[in-house]
């Protein structure tokens, strides 16, 4: 089959479009014909080797794939052949302590499509049969691929971990990112006062269209000063963070007593000087967030199908253009998501 794989870590030139063996579903597995794949910044980290996660080479990239079930492994059943499905990014075991607690996004078995296991930048991909998420009929493959990880992650951060409340001040950093565009919409859907921050005025204009009432450009304005000013001197009770570096330290400065900061990324600085005194004196909760649970992803896909949430798709490209899509992601020259079609 055709796929985009890496044979060694490195730059964009390490993404090779070519033939790799079509995977064979084993016991418990399903084979899915991929119809659309979401492009994530995480793909870039995996290719470069920043993640520190090793995998056999060639390694097929792509953490977020949707398509149709075409076959099952020996003795395995699941949704009917031809069913339109999303492949859960975390291939959850269903039996570990995290899975049993409803946090299967942090399954202790830790099998992640496109990260520790071959991914979805391919014509076919394997999924555990019990990790197929059937797609609502009204949902296109492109919208599903653009929503499952970012929408699921945003829901996990804003609702499950962030416990958003109506009329609360919520600051969403990197509001032009895939997670950011969903976090703005989800916080607005819950009746929050949403402040979007980003590094460009153009992205902020678009964030307003998604439900942000106020905006901050953190390259030209002081994020903490503005966030406090826009909340009548209180500071945002909840911050949805994915930038790291100064943006994280400014967020800590901005939150009020008992403020909550939920973070899922650190592309602008993985190691941050944190003022622990501010953290404890203000009683701040700083919470990490990785993958959403299967239920959260399915819930978000249903809301997208119903039109309550809208994925922001920057562009849909053929899989052969995966390196071009990766270059746009790396340079941050995009709003929302890019989707590849094999
Ligand atoms: Zn598990």
> What averages of pLDDT result for each successive group of 10 residues across the chain (342 residues)?
96 96 97 96 87 85 97 98 98 96 93 94 98 97 96 98 98 94 98 97 95 97 98 98 94 98 87 92 96 96 98 94 88 80 96
Q: Is 332 exposed, middle or buried (0-12, 13-18, 19+ CB in 10 A)?
A: middle
- For domain 151-288, which CATH number applies: 3.30.200.20, 3.40.50.300, 3.40.50.720, 1.25.40.10? 3.40.50.720
Give the distance (Å) from ligand 1 centre to CA of residue 108: 5
Instruction: Give the model's pLDDT for residue 39.
Output: 94
Whether pTM > 0.85 for this model: the answer is: yes
Cβ 163 vs Cβ 260: under 8 Å: yes
Give the distance (Å) from ligand 1 centre to CA of residue 95: 5
Class of domain 2-134+312-341: alpha beta
Residues 24 and 1: their CA atoms lie apart, in Å, by: 12
Residue 182: count other Cβ atoms within 10 Å of its Cβ: 33
Give the distance (Å) from ligand 1 centre to CA of residue 334: 34
Domain ranges of the chain: 2-134+312-341, 151-288
Matching residue, tokens 């622990």: 276
Give the distance (Å) from ligand 1 centre to CA of residue 265: 22
Taken in order 151, 157, 159, 164, the sign of the CA dihedral is negative
CB-based neighbours (< 5 A) of ligand 1, an ion: 92-93, 96, 99, 107
Give the distance (Å) from ligand 1 centre to CA of residue 310: 30
Residue 219: count other Cβ atoms within 10 Å of its Cβ: 11
Pairing of strands 214-217, 193-198: parallel
Q: Quick one: which of 261, 178, 189, 176 has its CA closest to 224? A: 261
């Amino acid at each position: 089959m055709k796929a985009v794989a890496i044979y060694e870590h490195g730059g964009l030139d390490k993404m090779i479009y070519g033939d790799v063996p079509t995977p064979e579903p084993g016991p418990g597995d399903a084979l899915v014909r991929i119809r659309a794949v979401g492009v994530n910044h995480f793909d870039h980290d995996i290719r470069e080797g920043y993640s520190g996660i090793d995998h056999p080479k060639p390694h097929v990239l792509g953490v977020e794939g949707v398509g149709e079930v075409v076959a099952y492994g020996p003795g395995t059943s699941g949704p009917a052949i031809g069913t339109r499905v999303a492949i859960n990014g975390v291939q959850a075991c269903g039996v570990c302590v995290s899975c049993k607690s409803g946090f299967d996004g942090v399954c202790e078995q830790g099998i992640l499509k496109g990260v520790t296991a071959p991914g979805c930048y391919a014509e076919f991909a394997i999924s555990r049969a019990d990790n197929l998420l059937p797609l609502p009929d009204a949902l296109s493959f492109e919208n599903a691929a653009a929503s499952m990880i970012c929408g699921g992650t945003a829901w996990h951060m804003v609702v499950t971990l962030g416990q958003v409340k109506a009329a609360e001040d919520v600051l969403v950093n990197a509001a032009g990112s895939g997670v950011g565009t969903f976090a703005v919409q989800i916080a607005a859907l819950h009746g929050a006062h949403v402040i979007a921050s980003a590094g460009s005025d153009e992205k902020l204009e678009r964030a307003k269209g998604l439900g942000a009432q106020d905006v901050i450009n953190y390259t030209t304005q002081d994020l903490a000063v503005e966030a406090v000013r826009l909340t009548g001197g209180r500071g945002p009770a909840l911050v949805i963070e994915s930038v790291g570096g100064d943006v994280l330290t400014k967020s800590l400065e901005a939150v009020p007593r008992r403020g909550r900061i939920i973070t899922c990324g650190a592309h602008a600085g993985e190691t941050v000087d944190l003022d622990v005194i501010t953290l404890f004196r203000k009683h701040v909760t700083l919470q990490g967030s990785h993958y959403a649970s299967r239920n959260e992803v399915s819930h978000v896909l249903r809301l997208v199908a119903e039109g309550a949430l809208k994925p922001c798709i920057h562009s849909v490209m053929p899989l052969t253009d995966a390196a071009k899509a990766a270059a746009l992601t790396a340079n941050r020259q995009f709003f929302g998501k890019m989707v590849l079609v094999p």
